[in-house]
Amino acid sequence: MNKRKVTLAAAAAGVITGAAGLSLLAMPAGAGQPPTLPDVSAESLVEQVLTSKPGAFGGTVEVDNKLGLPSIAEIPQLADGKHSARIWTDGNGKFRAALPNGQSEQTIVDDGTTTWSWNSADNEVTKSEHKADQPRPAEDKSESVNPAEAAKQVVGMTKEFSDITVDGTARVANRAAYELVLTPKASEKTLIREVRIAVDSELKMPLRVQVLTNGTSEPAGTVGFSEINVGPQDAKLFEFTPPANAKVTTPEAKEERRGQKPELGIEQALQGKDPQFFGTGWDTVVGARIPAEAMTQVPAEAQGLVDKFTKKVSGAWGSGQIFTTKVATILIADDGRVVAGAVPEQVLFDTIGQVK
């Protein structure tokens, strides 16, 4: 009889362990105790961030996006919600990013001379060789998922227009980090309340960026490492050979086919020929004029999409459509002028008259 009780107890313990395990798995991973680090002044930390050279590392980046952006077919990772990407760099310009999208995957490899972009959903590779005098568009895209680079750019552009403080410490991707906080100065007319950057205490490399907007306590956007291993990475990661059955195209050939996709019509429309900049710091406004023929070229479906996400506005400057997210506003006038910035709509109304 006693043996039976022992068996029952063991079986019950198994059930309870299983149930507890389920609950543990369901719980989000805790952030852990903030580490204790020696004090550091905000100025020296900013200096170290801007001059830091992260070197080789590989890691997983998580993006938590509550910006309220519509999803764009080319970069589904930007749509609202949580997304992750894996990135590797050798610290010398070679780069690899793997962006899972459901059960498909996009891979971008920069082997130093060529940028390969693979999309498993199309079974297609886009190959673009670097030319010395041209910007590298694919790299811009791959860098946008690298929080270290993104944070460096933010700090560089805005440090003169912000109050910078060090607000305690945090543990990010199991590394000790300082929380660097950039608050726009009171004179800046911006939607952004503050930007928090977790800076690795050893490497001085940004590990996480959080953007907080006025009126909310939750970050509107977070980009950060959930896992990182610093050190030399497998050289094979920075090589790419297209699979035997994949189509290989060039960016130019792909561009030609693009016109058929309605979302890209908007994207093209927003990328004016010569962007003009107004103001400085946080309330910089980017302006452009879309040629009249480009405005009429926007396909009907694209127009429908534009209407869905924008609202009609008018004023002394004319009339147009305004597209609002938590961190940025875009104003498209009916005559083809476009202005955008991380500012409230009133600033755009005031600025649009200056667009040439």
Partner 1 sequence: MITRQLGSEVRWMLRRPRTLIGLFGLVLVPIVISFGIWTAGEDGGGGPGLSAIIQGNGLVVPIFTLFLSLNLLLPLVASIWAADGLAGEAQHGTLRGLLVAPVSRVRLLFVKLFGLAAMSLFAVTLMAVVGIIAGTAFLGSDGMATLSGTTLSTGEGLVRIALFVVLVTFQMVSVGAVALAVSATTEHPLVVQAATMVTIIVFQVLGQFSSLDWLHPFLITTGFPGLVDVMRDPIPWDQIGDSTLLAGCYLLIGTGLAAIRLVTKDS
Cα–Cα distance for residue pair 181/195, rounded to 1 Å:
6
List 57, 118, 178, 225, residue binding partner 1 (CB under 8 A): 118
Our finding on whether 79 is near partner 1 (CB under 8 A) is no
Tokens at 90, concatenated: 């050798």
Among 113, 245, 274, 308, binds partner 1 (CB under 8 A): 245
Distance, in Å, from the CA atom of 336 to the CA atom of 321, rounded to the nearest integer, reads 11
151-157-161-164 Cα dihedral, nearest 10 degrees: 30
Asked if 229 is part of the footprint of partner 1 (rule: CB under 8 A), the reply reads no
Residue 86 or 337 having the CB closest to partner 1: 86
Structural contact between residues 321 and 339, judged by C-beta atoms closer than 8 angstroms:
no
The beta strands (E) that lie in the chain are given as: 57-65, 81-89, 95-101, 104-110, 114-119, 124-129, 162-172, 175-184, 192-200, 206-213, 221-230, 247-249, 276-278, 285-289, 311-315, 318-324, 329-333, 337-341
> Using the rule CB under 8 A, is 34 a contact of partner 1?
no
Among 45, 63, 66, 86, binds partner 1 (CB under 8 A): 86
Q: Is 276 helix (H, G, I), strand (E, B) or coil?
A: strand
314 sits near partner 1 (criterion: CB under 8 A): no
Torsion sign across C-alpha atoms 204, 210, 212, 217: negative
Is residue 254 at the binding interface for partner 1, with CB under 8 A as the rule?
no
Site for partner 1 in 125-164 (CB under 8 A): 125
| Number of residues counted as binding partner 1 (CB under 8 A) | 44
Query: What count of other Cβ atoms lies within 10 Å of the Cβ of residue 35?
Result: 14
Residue (244 or 316) nearer to partner 1, CB = 244
Closest distance to partner 1 from the beta carbon of 26 (Å): 4
As measured in angstroms, the least distance from the Cβ of 205 to partner 1 is 22
Q: Which residue has the tokens 């460096």?
A: 152
Q: Per CB under 8 A, does 114 bind partner 1? A: no
**What is the maximal distance between C-alpha atoms in the chain?**
93
Name the one range near partner 1 by CB under 8 A: 4-12, 188-196, 330-338, 340-348: 4-12
Residue 251 binds partner 1 (CB under 8 A): no
Site membership for partner 1, residue 2 (CB under 8 A): no
Structure tokens at 104: 């498909």
> Which residue stretch of 15-23, 35-43, 133-141, 326-334 sits at the interface with partner 1 (rule: CB under 8 A)?
15-23
**Which among 35-43, 117-125, 164-172, 292-300 is the span making contact with partner 1, rule CB under 8 A?**
117-125
Residue for token pair 């750019």:
153
Write out the residues near partner 1 by the rule CB under 8 A: 4, 7-8, 10-19, 21-22, 25-26, 60, 86, 98, 100, 102-105, 107, 116, 118, 120-125, 234, 237, 240-247
